[in-house]
Chain A
């Protein structure tokens, strides 16, 4: 089954404790992105990647890091999480052609206390 997977689905952590949210897709897509979704602010793009070793900042990159060492994986790293990073995070992938549809993962709900 074609899909984007994220782990963990739920995470509660404390301020300053480094964490990684994994994202993997099995559709051989070149493009991958991370978004956060907050009430009243909608979906905002954090980082995106156009291919292995090619990443760029989205609209809200502060406090986040990403890497794209393999085509299928695009982890999101929070080196020192803060409470304002409490949010619902989505990973997405696209083949960058046709309908340019971005396929979203199931989401990771992160709480930073």
Chain B
């Protein structure tokens, strides 16, 4: 059984600061990693994906992957109140990453 672990939070971060979200996974052979954001009462939406060790940046978001430690993280710079949401870490596998295992999510609150 593939497992994905996240700290459920809540995580409170002042506006303008860096929010750091962490995730660990159990299957050392995992290849694809995703961060989804879910606002309360809404559907998840993809914000970042990463396949290779190291950092991947997209605007204010940086995903970091360390396969040796089986660890993936998401950094949000210059946090805004609109970043307040639950962030879901997911590990994908299969030819088209059609299988996804999600963590339970970390609830992030940005304090104005």
Do A100 and B44 have beta carbons less than 8 Å apart? no
Chain B nearest CB from A101 CB (Å) reads 4
User: What's the Cα separation between A94 and B103 when bound, in Å?
Assistant: 20
Interface residues on A, range: 20 to 34
Chain B nearest CB from A2 CB (Å) reads 13
- Chain A residues contacting B100 (CB-CB under 8 Å) are 33, 43, 45, 102
Chain A nearest CB from B95 CB (Å) reads 7
Chain B nearest CB from A98 CB (Å) reads 9
Chain B nearest CB from A15 CB (Å) reads 27
Q: Does B96 contact A (CB under 8 A)?
A: yes
Interface residue count for B (Cβ, 8 Å)?
24
Interface of A: prevailing SS = loop
Do A100 and B49 have beta carbons less than 8 Å apart? yes
Q: Does B82 contact A (CB under 8 A)?
A: no
Chain B nearest CB from A25 CB (Å) reads 13
Query: Which of A59, A96, A104 interacts with B98 by CB under 8 Å?
Result: A96
Do B49 and A43 have beta carbons less than 8 Å apart? no
User: What's the Cα separation between A42 and B101 when bound, in Å?
Assistant: 10
User: What's the Cα separation between A107 and B89 when bound, in Å?
Assistant: 19
28 A-B pairs whose Cβ atoms sit less than 8 Å apart in the complex: A31-B96, A31-B98, A40-B104, A41-B104, A42-B88, A42-B102, A42-B103, A43-B100, A45-B99, A48-B98, A48-B99, A50-B96, A58-B99, A59-B1, A90-B43, A94-B97, A95-B96, A96-B98, A97-B96, A100-B49, A100-B92, A100-B97, A101-B46, A101-B49, A104-B43, A104-B44, A105-B43, A107-B43
Q: Name B's A-contacting residues (CB within 8 A).
A: 1, 8, 32, 34, 43-46, 49, 88, 90, 92, 94-105
